[in-house]
Amino acid sequence: MKQSYQRFWVLGALVSLMIACGGGGGGGDTVVVVPPPSITSFIAGSASINAGQATTLTAIFSNGTGTVSGGPAPVAILSGVPISVTPTTTTTYTLFVTNTAGASVTSSATVSVTSASRSLNYTDPTIGIYKLIRNTSLSNSSHLVLDLVSSDTNLVSGIGFNISTDTTKATWVKVASADATFVQNGTIFNLGPSPQVQYGKITTSGVSSTILSAALALKGSSGVAINGSGGVLARIALDPVGTGAVGAVPLTITKAQAIVQGIANPSTITVYVGTLTLN
């Protein structure tokens, strides 16, 4: 009996120890295994677009939540559900997929943005003794040449004017790339031998405006009779700004004068300007 009692005591102690230690039936702490995040694909609907256009980004992923960065702020994305983006410049978007354990995987997609081509459209003024009209033979969609013409019956020996525009939409350029200055002589004045009175300079005015100052004059005191011929006194040119917003382009004569024979001082004249738009 004593031996049996000892065996039962040892068995009871062993069972108590196993219960206290979680033994006998497994148990203990539970380990949860989180599947790793996975990305199958991340693509742009159109990998190349023109400025102002939109495209989509589509991601196929599992075992996590998705976020896309690259735009103004990160945005959430669901697997298989496209989101719309409108980048203004070539942009690389990055997809982050993160699971509940904090593990993360990434993938990238680039959208190339091409600046839309712009053109300047000019409508001639219908009135005025002095006016700027489009030179149809020298102008094209990316290069606008304007002729200063006149039907003045006075004898004129020189002309000068300031004209401004919005530099976010148009820029002053030379009529021909080989020209020495930003104003080209027309068909009326004979500028004579060097040094000639032919001046064209660009200055900045304000945040987004530039002024073209132009002057042309004969050598000597005799004026040229325009006599209502509509002859060309001077030529100037503008090119469109490729990233400019479409719409009206300001084109303003801020000052204009002519040297008229028989008048001591330059005479103020009115130069009429047409309508300029960026398309």
**Is the pLDDT higher at 220 or at 166?**
166
3-state SS assignment for residue 98: strand
CATH number belonging to the domain at 38-114, selected among 3.90.580.10, 2.60.40.10, 1.10.3370.10, 3.30.420.40: 2.60.40.10
Q: Which of 93-97, 148-152, 247-251 has the lowest mean pLDDT?
A: 148-152
- Pick from 147, 148, 196, 143: which is nearest to 170 by CA? 143
Instruction: Compute the average pLDDT of residues 21-31.
Output: 61
pLDDT band at 254 (very low <50, low <70, confident <90, very high): very high
Per the prediction, the chain carries an average pLDDT of 83
Interacting residues of 206 by C-beta distance below 8 A, sequence separation 6+? none
Of 20-24, 34-38, 263-267, where does the model show the most confidence? 34-38
Written as six digits, the tokens of 259 are: 């040297």
Average pLDDT estimate for 100-125: 91
Strands 91-98 and 104-114: antiparallel
Token digits of residue 209: 């405006």
Mean pLDDT, residues 239-250: 83
Closest CA to 276 of 148, 159, 124: 124
In the predicted model, what is the mean pLDDT of residues 74-84? 97
Q: What is the mean pLDDT of residues 119-139?
A: 93
CATH topology of domain 120-278: Immunoglobulin-like (2.60.40)
Q: Higher confidence at residue 218 or residue 20?
A: 218
Tokens 């040229």 label which residue? 224
E strand or H helix that includes residue 8 = helix 2-20
Tokens representing 89 are 């410049």
Q: Is the pLDDT of residue 67 over 80?
A: yes
Phi–psi pair at 4, nearest 5 degrees: -65, -40
Q: Which of residues 10 and 277 earns the better pLDDT score?
A: 277
Which residue do the tokens 């693509």 mark? 43
Looking up tokens 């959208």, which residue turns up? 111
Q: Are strands 232-240 and 170-173 parallel, antiparallel or unpaired?
A: antiparallel
Instruction: Name the amino acid, one letter, at 73.
Output: A
At 220 the pLDDT is: 63
pLDDT digits (tens, 9 = 90+) for 143-181: 999 999 988 877 788 889 999 999 888 999 999 988 888
Task: Establish whether domains 38-114 and 120-278 are of one fold.
Answer: yes
- Domain residues of the chain, as ranges? 38-114, 120-278
Give the residue-averaged pLDDT of 258-269. Answer: 82
Q: Residue 44 has what pLDDT?
A: 96
Taking a C-beta distance cutoff of 8 angstroms, is the pair 69, 92 a contact?
A: no
**End-to-end Cα separation, the chain, in angstroms:** 112
Q: Where would I find the H helices in 21-119? A: none
Give the whole-angstrom CA distance, residue 160 versus residue 200: 10
- Tell me what pLDDT residue 143 has: 93
User: What are the residues facing 203 on neighbouring strands?
Assistant: 211
Higher pLDDT, 219 or 199: 199
CA distance 129 to 227: 11
Residue in this structure with the two tokens 């699971």, named with its chain if needed: 99
pLDDT at residue number 4:
43
Structure token pair of residue 155: 């004898």
pLDDT of residue 236: 94
| pLDDT of 259 above 50 | yes
CA distance 148 to 158: 13
What is the reported pLDDT for 197? 82
Q: Bigger pLDDT: 17 or 121? A: 121
